[in-house]
């Protein structure tokens, strides 16, 4: 049933105009203004952009921030105002950085709309009795009943019913995913109801060729484009739990459970072994704060924002959601469409053969004659892409054909007519049996051309099979035939003359592959990213393109095959299949969901309305700038072009950011874990607190400030060759091993201080404070991402931060602030003994790091 504004069976064009209270001359300006008030602007329903306060509130919802806020409240309740203020500042800075980064990304994405045509040619009248005039109006001012004029290259600004059309073909890939243009026409009254959608042009499609006039039947939220949007897109955009969420939440809750255990353990142990009461509570809170990676929200946001800013600076990639940059680095399977991504969206000639499959230059010659004179005589609004491909391949022979033959007439392709004919003449040409005769050169769909050839049935079937074999190889096949005719007297050439043709051969065309696609696929494979092709095209076409690019297609699975599969069977099939062809939008979304269900981190690159479901269901949705507006809004990442090379750069940026975040977690948690163990041991063995709460606070402040430099590190090259994920189990294994090593260094420091000072409290505090900051500076240098000498020295920010940390550790106890923090200077022998401990600890770190890397396969 054809679509109509009232949802019922479509009537005649006149009936549609009556229902819309319009006419071929268009609306008056006054009536258009009234309808604009009644129907609203012609804009798609969308989510209201979140304000800064709302973004700031969202930045406070991650587990670490919640834990820090709870610790801040406990510190305030205990009158530990310094700790409470520091925690408040850290939380505020983190949320502010995230808010600013996402706000900049949304502004950059919104600015892309300025690069897209936003006007339409509309026929309106200034008064009821005035003649109509064509005006260029903003698309959002269109109303139902407006008469719109379309030409080649125009975007369809609203849902239209055609009033007149000449050779109109429309590209509806944004809606359907089909790469071939669709013929549109106005049905004759005698035909009755036309095919569904044949006389309708939908918003979001574009005119390939021809001209047309249509009346607007739906705008804004009433269009088919709006109806294709998922429900979540019409209101607030809901996102699935992403790999970033799962990783950070897993690490956070592991630490939360450990913290909730640590503080009571300190209190109970102190009460049982030392007889201390609630006076130990501030120390227990300080221990819990010491275990918490307070700077994690700040470092995560800074690392991701730095990577996103670097990508946006070149205008190639805009990250609309900062955590999506981490998810890009974690992607291990990328689903892409064929058209425009792997290919250039234009055909090229693959071969020209005779009826037996042998190469024949004569076939290309006559195909070029047909293409040249069809383009010159038919006055097509837009050159046919297949004709241009033939002429490009013919090269200089095109000039010869133009000089050798004179065009007489042309019968171009048209809706329902998949062939073209060029009529040429040349007196005395030896190719012609009769001097001065005309030659009809016909080119088009094999079944149509062969039907017009003078062939017996077996030969025609043989040639059709040959054409089928070429098509099965992923080629678009055109047959070429010709026939001599005496000049028509007093009449024009027509389809009746296209009979009794002599078959010449076949020309076969293929999609031109994108120049960077093969290299990009190879690079992505080297980086551990598997590419899968999800396309609406023919299976043979998709497989051929993949083979040309060095991507083995294997068995191609079609959308019809997926229809009969339950989800539990689809998951393993999706994992082992490279190419899915004849895919509808729901097929793409099912494949993406199946890959995610199988534990893969899945990215999806799409640009049309038919890709919205898959963009939403993927871990990372990627859309090129030229994609439809709703696809860009749904995507997490926007590319300047539909180019896998730009996407590879975004993947690398994501892995760098994730590597820096992982380095921060490894360094911070192993140091904090070792310090907590040492505090517990010292607290149980010493008659005084091993470190006062104020000293713990100052130490944490110094270390936290230094760790911000890790956001500027250069990750090791090895981390860029595989998907980067924050794995809680791997992190726990690392933290346990290196934390125990850190605790051993602390216990050795206790022994040194006990031997050299006899357990004096202020000297003990000063010695451990100094040793802690020096070991933390050493850990930052030795356990950072780019830690091998071959990768160059540490970046300037890290060298500056570690130097400052060491200087503070050495000089603070000797400064006027030392006595205020209950610390005193140490004799030279103590510094010498501490240096020995640090040397042994450094050697231990290097040995443990190398063993860990070998076990990790680096």
Q: Specify the DSSP element, H or E, that contains 673.
A: helix 644-685
CA distances to 407, 426, 433, 439, 488 from 484, in Å: 14, 12, 8, 5, 12
Q: With contact defined as beta carbons under 8 Å apart, do 398 and 368 qualify?
A: yes
CB atoms within 10 A of CB 49: 11
CA distances to 351, 363, 443, 759 from 395, in Å: 14, 14, 19, 93
Which residues are registered as beta bridge partners of 581? Answer: 558
User: How many CA atoms, within 13 angstroms, populate the side-chain half-sphere of residue 454?
Assistant: 8
Considering only CA atoms, which of 91, 108, 68 is closest in space to residue 301? 91
CB atoms within 10 A of CB 626: 16
CB burial readout 79-114, b (16+ within 10 A) else e: ebeebbebbeebbebbbbbbbebbebbbebbeebee
CA 159, 48, 622 angle in degrees (round to 5)?
75
CA separation for the pair 84, 672 (Å, rounded): 19
CA separation for the pair 144, 137 (Å, rounded): 14
Q: Specify the DSSP element, H or E, that contains 794.
A: none
The DSSP symbol for 129 reads T
Catalytic site residue from 337, 384, 511, 619? 337
Considering only CA atoms, which of 242, 278, 355, 302 is closest in space to residue 97? 302
Considering only CA atoms, which of 604, 607, 841, 614 is closest in space to residue 742? 841
Considering only CA atoms, which of 759, 772, 691, 686 is closest in space to residue 283? 691
Residue 337 known to be catalytic: yes
Considering only CA atoms, which of 359, 356, 352 is closest in space to residue 386? 352
How long a stretch of residues is the chain?
858
CA separation for the pair 256, 245 (Å, rounded): 16
Sign of the Cα pseudo-torsion (563, 566, 572, 575, in order): positive
Active site residues: 337
């Amino acid at each position: 049933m054809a679509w109509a504004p009232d949802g019922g069976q479509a009537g005649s064009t006149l009936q549609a105009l009556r229902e819309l209270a319009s006419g071929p001359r268009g609306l008056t300006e006054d009536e258009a203004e009234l309808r604009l008030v009644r129907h609203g602007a012609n804009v798609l329903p969308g989510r209201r952009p979140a304000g800064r306060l709302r973004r700031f509130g969202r930045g406070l919802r991650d587990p670490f921030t919640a834990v820090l806020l709870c610790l801040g409240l406990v510190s305030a309740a205990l009158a530990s105002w310094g700790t409470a203020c520091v925690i408040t500042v850290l939380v505020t800075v983190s949320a502010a950085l995230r808010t600013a980064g996402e706000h900049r990304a949304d502004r950059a994405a919104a600015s892309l709309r300025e690069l897209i045509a936003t006007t339409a040619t509309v026929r309106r009248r200034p008064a009821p009795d005035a003649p109509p005039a064509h005006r260029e109006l903003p698309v959002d001012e269109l109303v139902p009943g407006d008469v719109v004029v379309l030409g080649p290259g125009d975007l369809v600004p609203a849902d239209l019913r055609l009033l007149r059309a000449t050779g109109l073909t429309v590209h509806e890939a944004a809606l359907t995913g089909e790469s071939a243009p669709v013929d549109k026409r106005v049905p004759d009254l005698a035909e009755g109801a036309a095919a569904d959608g044949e006389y309708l042009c939908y918003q979001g499609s574009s005119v390939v060729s021809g001209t047309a006039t249509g009346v607007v039947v739906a705008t804004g939220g009433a269009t088919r484009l709006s109806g294709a949007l998922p429900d979540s897109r019409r209101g607030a955009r809901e996102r699935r739990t992403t790999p970033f969420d799962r990783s950070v939440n897993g690490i956070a809750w592991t630490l939360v459970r450990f913290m909730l255990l640590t503080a009571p353990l300190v209190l109970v142990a102190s009460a049982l072994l030392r007889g201390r009461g609630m006076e130990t509570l501030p120390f227990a809170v300080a221990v819990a704060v010491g275990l918490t990676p307070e700077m994690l929200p700040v470092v995560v946001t800074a690392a991701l924002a730095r990577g996103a800013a670097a990508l946006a600076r070149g205008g190639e990639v805009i990250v609309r959601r900062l955590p999506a940059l981490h998810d890009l680095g974690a992607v291990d399977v990328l689903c892409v469409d064929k058209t425009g991504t792997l290919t250039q969206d234009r055909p090229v000639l693959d071969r020209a053969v005779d009826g037996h499959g042998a190469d024949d230059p004569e076939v290309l010659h006559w195909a070029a004659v047909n293409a040249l004179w069809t383009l010159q005589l038919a006055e097509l609004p837009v050159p046919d892409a297949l004709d241009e491909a033939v002429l490009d391949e013919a090269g200089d022979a095109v000039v010869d054909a133009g000089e050798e033959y004179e065009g007489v007439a042309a019968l171009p392709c048209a809706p329902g007519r998949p062939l073209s004919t060029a009529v040429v003449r040349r007196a005395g040409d030896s190719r012609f049996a009769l001097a001065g005769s005309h030659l009809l050169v016909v080119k088009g769909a094999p079944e149509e051309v062969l039907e017009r050839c003078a062939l017996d049935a077996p030969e025609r079937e043989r040639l059709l099979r040959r054409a089928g074999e070429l098509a099965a190889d992923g080629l678009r096949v055109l047959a070429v035939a010709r026939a001599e005719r005496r000049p028509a007297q007093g009449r024009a050439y027509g389809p009746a003359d296209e009979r009794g043709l002599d078959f010449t051969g076949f020309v076969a065309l293929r999609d031109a592959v994108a120049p960077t696609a093969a290299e990009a696929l190879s690079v992505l494979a080297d980086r551990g990213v598997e590419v899968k092709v999800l396309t609406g095209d023919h299976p043979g076409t998709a497989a051929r393109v993949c083979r040309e690019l060095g991507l083995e297609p294997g068995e191609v699975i079609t959308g019809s095959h997926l229809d009969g599969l339950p989800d539990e069977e689809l998951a393993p099939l999706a994992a082992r299949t490279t190419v899915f062809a004849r895919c509808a939008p729901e097929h793409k979304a099912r494949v993406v969901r199946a890959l995610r269900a199988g534990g893969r981190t899945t990215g999806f690159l799409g640009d049309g309305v038919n890709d919205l479901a898959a963009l939403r269901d993927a871990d990372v949705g990627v859309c090129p700038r030229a994609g439809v507006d709703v696809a860009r809004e749904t995507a997490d990442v926007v590319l300047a072009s539909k180019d896998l090379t730009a996407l590879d750069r975004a993947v690398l940026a994501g892995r760098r950011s994730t590597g820096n975040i992982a380095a921060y977690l490894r360094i911070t948690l192993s140091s904090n874990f070792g310090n907590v163990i040492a505090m517990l041991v010292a607290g149980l063995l010493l008659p005084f607190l091993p470190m006062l709460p104020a000293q713990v606070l100052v130490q944490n402040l110094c270390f936290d400030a230094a760790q911000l430099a890790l956001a500027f590190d250069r990750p090791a090259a090895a981390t860029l060759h595989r998907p980067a994920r924050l794995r809680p189990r791997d992190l726990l294994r690392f933290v346990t091993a290196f934390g125990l090593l850190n605790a051993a260094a602390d216990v050795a420091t206790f022994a040194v201080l006990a031997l050299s000072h006899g357990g004096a409290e202020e000297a003990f505090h000063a010695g451990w404070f100094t040793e802690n900051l020096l070991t933390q500076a050493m850990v930052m240098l030795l356990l950072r991402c780019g830690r091998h000498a071959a990768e160059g020295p540490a970046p300037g920010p890290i060298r500056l931060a570690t130097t400052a940390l060491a200087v503070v550790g050495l000089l603070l106890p000797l400064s006027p602030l030392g006595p205020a923090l209950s610390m005193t200077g140490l004799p030279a022998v103590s510094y010498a003994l501490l240096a020995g401990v640090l040397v042994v600890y450094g050697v231990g770190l290097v040995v443990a790091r190398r063993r860990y890397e070998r076990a990790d396969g680096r």
